[in-house]
Chain A
């Protein structure tokens, strides 16, 4: 079975603080893909990043960075110097090679950034 766990239901920080959103996944597939999506209050899921299981290199994009560790089955997401516009629900998702194409989503983490 494939599963994604986002243990943090809600996180509240003050603007300019750094924040890390945790994601732990389970899969028996050797080839798989991990994703992060942002869901602002408008409701649309916005794609942030895709990572395949053979690429463990960490990635940085502006204030966003991702730490992928196969040894602990984790794919954590860090926002540096958070801003009010970062307030949203963030979802981690898994696509295993044994799946037809569906994404397995975690429960989501609600991030509130206060001014």
Chain B
């Protein structure tokens, strides 16, 4: 079974530029998560989707971050404009259902460096 796919794996941009990340979850997984992991810290949830609806985006900086999951399968996370503090690894995860305690499976992440 294929795991969670993410692209690109690495991205370097100048501050104030825009960037987009793509995620394809495990086939059949209804719930998709985007986490931000700053160097030396644990991942923090940015947004959670159930199918194509948003369940939790309370930690998403909505003035610059946006995400969508059209058709309830793959998802795109965008940053516009980027700031230096956005340098981090962006991890996508998926779970079979949104039920409590479901195991989340993570992709390889996208490492973003903002100069």
Q: Which residues of A approach B to under 8 Å, CB–CB?
A: 4, 31, 33, 35, 37, 42-47, 50, 52, 91, 93, 95, 97, 99-103, 105-108
Contact B106 A45, beta carbon cutoff 8 Å: yes
Known contacts A31-B100, A33-B101, A95-B100; A105/B44 CB under 8 A: yes
Query: B37-54: contact bitstring with A at CB < 8 Å (1 yes, 0 no)?
Result: 000111111001000000
Contact B42 A35, beta carbon cutoff 8 Å: no
Can you name 15 A-B residue pairings with CB atoms under 8 Å? A33-B101, A43-B109, A44-B108, A52-B101, A97-B100, A100-B48, A101-B31, A101-B33, A101-B55, A101-B98, A101-B100, A102-B45, A103-B45, A107-B42, A108-B42
Residues of the B chain whose Cβ atoms lie less than 8 Å from the Cβ of A46: 106
B87 within 8 A of A: no
Contact A102 B33, beta carbon cutoff 8 Å: yes
Q: A108 to B56, alpha carbons, bound, how many Å?
A: 24
Q: A24 to B89, alpha carbons, bound, how many Å?
A: 25
Q: A97 to B102, alpha carbons, bound, how many Å?
A: 11
Q: A93 to B108, alpha carbons, bound, how many Å?
A: 18
**A2 → chain B, closest Cβ, in Å?**
12
Known contacts A45-B91, A100-B55, A101-B95; A91/B48 CB under 8 A: no
Candidates A47, A105, A106; contact of B103 at CB < 8 Å:
A47
Residues of the B chain whose Cβ atoms lie less than 8 Å from the Cβ of A42: 108
Contact B43 A45, beta carbon cutoff 8 Å: yes
Q: A106 to B48, alpha carbons, bound, how many Å?
A: 19
